[in-house]
Amino acid sequence: MRGYGIRAVVLAGVLCALVLVGAYEGLGLAGLSAGTAFIFAVGWVVYLSSERSVLAALRARPVSEVENPGLYRLVRELCRDARLSVPRLYVSPATQPNILTVGCSSRSAAVCCTEGLLRVLSQGELRAVLAHELAHVSRRDTLVSSWSAGLASLVAFVPGPLTALLVQFTAPSCREYRADFDGAMLAGDPMALASALRKIDSSAADAPLPARGLLAAAGHLMIAHPFSLRGIGRLFRTHPPTGERVRRLESLAGYPR
């Protein structure tokens, strides 16, 4: 988390400095005060809107333990082993199998599965991808990723490349390799995670989500790249190649090659 956490801090510092310098040059001390107030206001908006904007983009709804006891059982078991608080669980009606976690702390984390994910994966594969998401929480990746999603949501309706550059700067793809490793160790089954990634990547390629609006700001939070890799969609790539992720997981499992 430290490497891209520093990136996020640097970006925030540069943006704040630009706002303060511009305000001071234009209005002097009064402008400096107004600029400071503006920065604090935007900071609160980003903090408060990150989770809301991501879940709204996926049209997610909260799911209760009565409605899906099996999902809660898997999450509780993994959280017990990882010594984490049980996150809130949401389900999105999206047919593309995918999953993401948003939240600025382990106590405020929210895990969102798509209906496609719950339908396509076996129980072992579902357990593995849940472990991957909890690894992000344990590593505190979600703090930076959620902040960048909230910031990107503020510019999500301007030309796509701006959102893509903002997200890629603050959420580099290498974080997924680390979460794959930690998640595989937590679940105890690297091959289940490898199998799940293959299924998710294949389905995402056949039915990509639209890389626009709030979805463009939330794509980096998902376990696999949800957008088309053709044309401008390549600008939004925030995940390493699935083939390389699978290769590393197979090596971790001692799979002969």
- Catalytic residue numbers, as ranges: 133
How large is the angle between the packed helices 174-187 and 242-252, nearest 10 degrees?
Answer: 40
103: left (phi over 0), alpha (psi -120 to 50) or beta: left
Edge-to-edge strand ranges of the sheet holding 61-62? 61-62, 88-92, 110-114, 99-102
Dihedral sign (CA 152, 90, 106, 138)? negative
41 is written with which tokens?
A: 């206001």
Residues whose CB is less than 8 angstroms from the CB of residue 123 and which lie 6 or more positions away in sequence, other chains included: 70, 74
Q: Which long-range contacts (CB under 8 A, 24 or more apart) does 224-227 make?
A: 224/98, 224/197, 224/200, 225/201, 226/96, 226/98
